[in-house]
Structure 1
Amino acid sequence: MDEELDPQMDLADQVHLLLHEFPGGCSEYELIRQLKARHSSHIPQLEIKDRLVLFRTHFLLFNALYRLRQQLLEEGRSRLLISPTCIRLLAMDTAGSAVDEHDALAGYYLDMDNLRNTTEQDVQRMLMSFWSRMQGGDEKQAAIELFELDRHGEHLTLSIIKQRYRQLVSIHHPDRGGSTTRLQSINKAMEILDRYYK
């Protein structure tokens, strides 16, 4: 049985401890599952089927991840790869200090006002914004971004898309604690990309 986490530890320190158990990295879903299983008092211990609980859990985890990344870089110990599908500690190589660690999302997640001031209606608006982009001619790009494949550029193939689709479905399926709304978005994005890349 997994040991409970020290409740006196900051969430960033708890995450750091857990990441050492996953040298190959792990998904956001797995990290949240581990935090809940080990009774972290820093994240909601509620079902994450509710949109607002899901958003708050996600936000708190990513706030901790970006704080941890800053701390590790300042100490020169290691680097931290952050994405919903792969969160991983990386060795600090000789060029580590030259690596651009800028991430546009860092500012968002490090500002706790974004957590405090986001309502259920705001979360709904974010989802609606995604769907309106899907309907408004930007559907291909919105689907690629949802799959986090926008860096593949011209090398993107249907095989890569399908592999990514299977990963996302396994992470976000409601039977595994995911969101039905998120799964519907993933399925819709797959339909769109299937049309473009067939």
Structure 2
Amino acid sequence: MTEATDDLLDPIMAALHAHPAGIGEYALLQHLRQQGCSALPSAPLSDTLNLFRCHFLLFNALYRLRERLCEQRAGWLEIHTLNIRLLPYQAGTVALCAHDPLRAYYLDMGQLQATGTAEVDALLQSFWRGLQGGEERQAALALFELADAAEPLTAQRIKHRYRQLVSQHHPDRGGSTSRLQAINQAMDILERYYR
């Protein structure tokens, strides 16, 4: 499979030279597909498993290209989903990235073969949960005892529960300062998600 991504290296270099300020991953994938790169699956990118496979193959090629450029002292490849950019070679750059877990992941083609639809769906769900507050939001809701609420959560309901907890745990009424601080911090978190 590594040989298949060899076909991506030259078209990637051409695209990077055409975009000296950098190019986003999705735009680069679209460009490579328009160029007819046979190394990328041709199924629609709206299919999440196909999108993951294209992403993985592209990043495998990018990390391999970075190594080739460094070996030749021809440049440094900045790799990020939002901006992939070719930079001039600087001595010592490789030493700064001695252990890169993402590099190890994308260079292991077994990861691609082991990832099916269920794993891609789980990755996407984890991403969206994180984007929507995930653990931080859930912890705040748990503190307010609203994590498993049957009714829909509204800003008004959360404020009402906040006032109840403040009244119950205020130091002037025998509560603890640390508990009150935790309640205030949880309210700050929840206000970001429920306005």
When the two structures are superposed, what TM-score results if normalisation uses the length of structure 1? 0.61
Q: Is the 8 A contact 2:25 2:82 kept in 1?
A: yes
State how 1:5-84 maps to structure 2 within 5 Å. Answer: 10-84=7-81
Q: Is the 8 A contact 2:5 2:39 kept in 1?
A: no
C-alpha distance 193-119 of structure 1, shift in aligned 2 (>3 A): farther
The one-letter amino acid paired with 1:78 is G
Counterpart-to-counterpart distance in 2, 1:17 and 1:107:
25
C-alpha distance 8-110 of structure 1, shift in aligned 2 (>3 A): closer
Q: Partner of 1:148 in structure 2?
A: none
Query: Shift in Å at residue 33 of structure 1?
Result: 1.1
SS at match of 1:20: helix
- Give the number of aligned pairs: 140
Query: Shift in Å at residue 100 of structure 1?
Result: 3.1
The one-letter amino acid paired with 1:15 is I
Counterpart-to-counterpart distance in 2, 1:54 and 1:193:
33
Query: Shift in Å at residue 124 of structure 1?
Result: 1.0
Q: Partner of 1:146 in structure 2?
A: none
After TM superposition, the structure 1 stretch with the greater mean CA deviation from structure 2, 88-97 or 49-58, is 88-97
Counterpart-to-counterpart distance in 2, 1:134 and 1:97:
32
Gaps of 5+ in 1: 1-6, 141-191
When the two structures are superposed, what TM-score results if normalisation uses the length of structure 2? 0.62
Q: Is the 8 A contact 1:69 1:80 kept in 2?
A: yes
Query: Shift in Å at residue 139 of structure 1?
Result: 4.1
C-alpha distance 45-137 of structure 1, shift in aligned 2 (>3 A): closer
Q: Partner of 1:85 in structure 2?
A: 82
The one-letter amino acid paired with 1:92 is Y
Identity of aligned residues (%): 44
Q: CA RMSD for the aligned pairs?
A: 3.0
Q: Is the 8 A contact 2:5 2:57 kept in 1?
A: no
Between the two structures, name the one with larger relative contact order (CA 8 Å, sep ≥ 6): 1
Q: Is the 8 A contact 2:75 2:89 kept in 1?
A: yes
Greater gyration radius: 2
Q: Partner of 2:110 in structure 1?
A: 113
The one-letter amino acid paired with 1:130 is F
Q: Is the 8 A contact 2:78 2:86 kept in 1?
A: yes
SS at match of 2:51: helix
Q: Is the 8 A contact 2:6 2:61 kept in 1?
A: no
Query: Shift in Å at residue 102 of structure 1?
Result: 3.9
Q: Do structure 1's residue 100 and structure 2's residue 116 form an aligned pair? A: no
SS at match of 1:113: helix
Spell out, residue by residue over 1:135-184, the C-alpha distance to the aligned partner (whole angstroms, 9 max, x if none).
Answer: 785347xxxxxxxxxxxxxxxxxxxxxxxxxxxxxxxxxxxxxxxxxxxx
C-alpha distance 10-134 of structure 1, shift in aligned 2 (>3 A): closer
Counterpart-to-counterpart distance in 2, 1:193 and 1:109:
36
